[in-house]
Chain A
């Protein structure tokens, strides 16, 4: 099956059995009703497997995968931006539930998406693994016999040599072996092949994709992601009770968390103070102290964006930052019922205006709640208070005060950044922004709130992904396999020598590139034939070192080198399966 095909055949498109090998050899007959009785379950399974592992199915699945990813990028996704999902629901109340039914707000976790990539990888494995076995088996496979008529090859040339045919062939085979061809000799011919690495590279690429899939899965099973917002001066340990969000893999339990602790000593943000980029962040530095285990030595780290902290194989990233104004609330009885920083969330990128909520559920006689806006650099812009710059040059807080029932005692979860005003009534307080140190006395003897100062907070993303390194290795292996399969060309050359009237041998030298590479192979063939003719030009007595350089003797004519492009492409075609 590996014989050189006649050039004409390669230009023809293959018969309509797509994904099937060209009918240039005996095709094993498939079992079916005509040959072996009723078409049973096993036959259906076999037919299904064959369909699944065909190239056409792979193409269709690839496109489905690409097409299925499109809604995942256009529609808001639950796992990335849940607020946007809720906004979408609000904006499209009729459409949104239908989209949710098809998991379009969670495309990459949807069952149909999983079905596509599982089928694709099944198809991939079904194609690649048998070929790996075949490659291993053919690692010592010999090149095919030389064709009877070497001069009919796409690239062919002829030369004459003073040597006897056998000697000429021996010298040719030595030359080719020296160039790391795999050589096979026969009666009156030498056949050589090079470029077996190509198939190995191709298989490495596809197997590495499988390994990548497995690594991603492993990370999803055994890894976890968590978030934590940390105010300067505070610390936390990596336990479930301390985390704001915890997204564990399926096989992760609370006891599996690495027991490190981190404290934030200070956070400093620098901003651009002049030019067109005024107010843009220039750098962020979070000065952390941490311990890998309880009782271990305390270490220090300057956490920045793009410079995560790696503690005990867990990575801690700086994701965001903001301001946490500090409040002290005295209730109607005169006791201090709240004293601490409250993280406010930035709502505008210019000037870092932030909003937040202070809930004082244990104030007596009435529970108190405050909705506030924090302005790092408060300026009066046409009657409206705005923040002109994100650094705290002139911090101010503006509060709206409420009293009543916060709704926290019923056990129903509430957002810590929102106030449920259903059970609250607004207090009549003059809307005056507070500078640090100033307080507001609430009417009706309900209490006092003092804005004592501010601190900064950072938000951390904590990720543990044991599959990350294997995924990287698999990706690099895939890239390496890809490069090898693209760069290495499989090519064959053949030499035939026959005794010539008048002494010596008439040598035919032909070559065939099995992939679309006539450019480079053409040049390589030219070099090879020049070297071969030089090697063969030297009679035996003189030895190779006194070889006459080519071109100094009258040339022999040769049939034209033809340049029929083989129709097979750079990727191993399906016809390879039949080798």
Chain B
């Protein structure tokens, strides 16, 4: 069936719209940094008064100090009357009402500043969501135009990966409210999409016969989700390293460096754990994607593993991320060292995605670019 040119053009327009909205979102995130309200008031006896204490506690914990500090304000709440025959235990996570009752604890560990999202952040998130919608529409219309699944060459693949990454990031930022990370995450996404629209652009067309298989739904989709998640994890790791170095510098010489920007980041420990949790999510998917790829390779090329460059680099990436998970469980390797290992894994992933397609010829050369 021939390509539906009208839909293909519509898809291109949606891509441009996506870049536009994401770029605006980046500006809005930057605006929040520049003009937005600072993090939640540290001193205060209002409803959120306990939260900053847990923030302090969280930072302190990262340095290994016990969390008695976190216990201090809530313990101040005087015990209400012990009367009552049928006492019911209060769930330990009720919101503090000044003067009694336990405190909101666990989820707020992850919250960036404790404060609800300011207007800049809300604008940025809104723009991101709109951009995501146009991106999804762009992918769908491309698939409809070509009458096939819309990931068959490098251009479409990068579109899909960035889409998955943005979805993962939005999910995490809504769940854990790490909005401040948005700037550092969306900027590379905008760059990648810009590259997509210019250098990587390929006109809509059919798949080569080797890709005519239902496995493209399974293997490539899994790879897309995994790579998108790894991108998010790498962002968090880079920020963790930066925030961690900043925190150490602050400990020795307060006020030095990019204090204004970096103070707004979540605590290093939180970033590290977010990154770890994302890798925990992505690693089984990557494993599954490699296995699915091996099954498909067996059907198409006659062997399930042939050390094709793409297969080899997928293997290398898997091994390095496995090393990261092991390092996280080993004394002396947690923290910065594990973070570096993860970044090595991410670098090999980028090489797998870009370098192998463009510079090394093998059976996997479906880039569509000459």
Contacts and interface: CB of A to CB of B under 8 A. Distances in A.
A and B touching (Cβ–Cβ under 8 A): yes
Contact of A16 (B288, B298, B327, B332): B332
Given A281-B209, A463-B303, A516 B273 contact: yes
A231 interface: no
A13 B331 contact: yes
Given A157-B89, A468-B304, A560-B74, A522 B323 contact: no
Contacts of B84: 160, 553-554, 556
B348 to A, nearest CB: 7
Contacts of A553: 84, 86-88
B218 to A, nearest CB: 13
B291 A475 contact: yes
A197 interface: no
A8 B82 contact: no
Interface string B59-84: 00100111100110011011111111
A11 B93 CA distance: 23
Interface string A52-85: 0001101100110110011011100101100000
Contacts of B313: 69, 73
A537 B362 CA distance: 69
B352 to A, nearest CB: 9
Interface in A152-179: 155-162
Contacts of B67: 7, 562-564
A59 B342 CA distance: 13
Nearest to A65: B319
B109 interface: yes
A4 interface: no
Nearest to A55: B330
A282 interface: yes
A569 B87 contact: no
Contacts of A302: none
Contact of A13 (B85, B101, B301, B332): B332
Interface string B248-276: 00000000000000000000010001001
Contacts of A552: 88
Nearest to B64: A11
A319 to B, nearest CB: 7
Interface in A521-579: 522-523, 525-526, 529-530, 532-534, 537, 539, 548, 550-565, 567-574
B103 to A, nearest CB: 5
A537 B87 contact: yes
Contact of B308 (A80, A319, A472): A80
Given A275-B2, A306-B210, A483-B284, A162 B86 contact: yes
A518 B319 CA distance: 28
A277 B8 CA distance: 15
B91 interface: yes
Nearest to A568: B329
Interface string A109-136: 0000000000000000000000000000
B330 A56 contact: yes
Contacts of A225: 302-303
B90 interface: yes
Contacts of B90: 157, 550-551, 555-558
B207 to A, nearest CB: 9
Contact of B323 (A62, A462, A504, A509): A62
Interface string B199-239: 00001011011101101000000000000000000000000
Interface residues of B, number: 93
A502 B211 CA distance: 77
Contacts of B54: 563
Given A282-B209, A308-B302, A574-B330, A80 B89 contact: no
Interface string B335-361: 000000000000010000000100010
Residue from B107, B203, B316 with most neighbouring chain A CB atoms (10 Å): B316
Nearest to A500: B82
Contacts of A561: 92-93, 102-103, 105-106
A274 B206 CA distance: 11
Nearest to A504: B85
A509 B89 contact: yes
B316 A529 contact: no
A486 interface: yes
Contacts of A537: 86-88
A497 interface: no
Contacts of A283: 209, 212
B302 A530 contact: no
Interface in A457-475: 461-463, 465, 468, 471-472, 475
B322 to A, nearest CB: 6
Contact of B89 (A13, A20, A158, A315): A158
A479 interface: yes
B283 interface: yes
Interface in B76-126: 77-93, 100-103, 105-107, 109-110
30 contacts: A12-B64, A20-B331, A55-B330, A56-B330, A80-B307, A107-B307, A160-B82, A225-B303, A307-B299, A462-B302, A463-B303, A479-B288, A518-B106, A522-B105, A529-B89, A529-B92, A533-B87, A534-B88, A552-B88, A554-B81, A555-B88, A555-B101, A557-B77, A560-B70, A560-B92, A565-B109, A570-B276, A570-B329, A571-B328, A573-B331
Given A158-B89, A461-B302, 16 more contacts: A13-B331, A56-B330, A56-B333, A66-B315, A160-B82, A225-B302, A281-B209, A284-B209, A306-B210, A461-B303, A475-B294, A479-B288, A530-B91, A556-B82, A559-B74, A563-B67
Interface of B: 2-3, 54, 61, 64-67, 70-71, 74-75, 77-93, 100-103, 105-107, 109-110, 203, 205-206, 208-210, 212-213, 215, 269, 273, 276, 280, 283-284, 287-288, 291, 294-296, 298-309, 312-313, 315-316, 319-320, 322-323, 325-334, 348, 356, 360, 362
